Structure 1
Amino acid sequence: MGRQMLCRAPIFPDMKQLLRTTDPTSIAFAKALLQGEGIDCFEMDVNMSVLEGSIGILPRRLMVHPDDHAEAEKVLTDNGIALEG
């Protein structure tokens, strides 16, 4: 079956955090960039973020497979998205 998720559902339990932010537009932009490069990703903590309303205290996380992490970091930083660390 291969890795065919394109930001829809996690199929790897060992995914690695790429981005953590309370800005939903940054997550959407990052997902679009990664999809454009064929890098699978999964957004975590969406439901928790929705529960807290719009006060922005619970960040969302964007996860990628460890094999794709370095390339995904490069894609985001090349497009002006700041990463932690």
Structure 2
Amino acid sequence: MRQLLRTNDAVLLSAVGALLDGAGIDHLVLDQNMSILEGSLGVIPRRILVPDDDLAAARRLLTDAGLAHELTPDG
């Protein structure tokens, strides 16, 4: 699994999850429980990971959706 993006924005996480689901790309959201434990401050960013084999397709999908600026630089 490789990191696709990291963010504190719950709306962005939801949108990216929906895009990935729509494209049939499996993904995991990590650090969600830690983010809940720290409260609503949004200090701990959550990460979206995708399988290595799907990383290029996921990056293309987000780029096409206008979200390239949100991608982790090295994936």
**Fold conserved (TM > 0.5)?**
yes
CA root-mean-square deviation:
0.8
Q: Kindly name which structure, 1 or 2, has the bigger radius of gyration based on alpha carbons.
A: 1
The alpha-carbon deviation at position 78 of structure 1 amounts to 1.2
Q: Is the 8 A contact 2:8 2:43 kept in 1?
A: yes
Unaligned runs of 5+ residues in structure 1 are 1-14
Point out which structure has higher relative CO (alpha carbons under 8 A, 6+ apart).
2
Deviation >6 Å, runs of 4+: none
Give percent identity, aligned residues only.
51
Question: Is residue 16 from structure 1 mapped to residue 2 from structure 2 by the alignment?
Answer: yes
Identify the residue that residue 75 of structure 1 maps to in structure 2.
Answer: 61
Identify the residue that residue 60 of structure 1 maps to in structure 2.
Answer: 46
Cα distance in 2 for residues equivalent to 1:46 and 1:84: 18
Q: Secondary structure at the match of 1:20?
A: strand
Q: Deviations over 1:20-70 (max 9, x none)?
A: 000011111001000100100011110001011111110000010000001
In the superposition, the TM-score normalised over structure 1's length comes to 0.79
The count of aligned residue pairs is 71
Cα distance in 2 for residues equivalent to 1:27 and 1:72: 14
Cα distance in 1 for residues equivalent to 2:7 and 2:66: 14
Q: Secondary structure at the match of 1:17?
A: strand
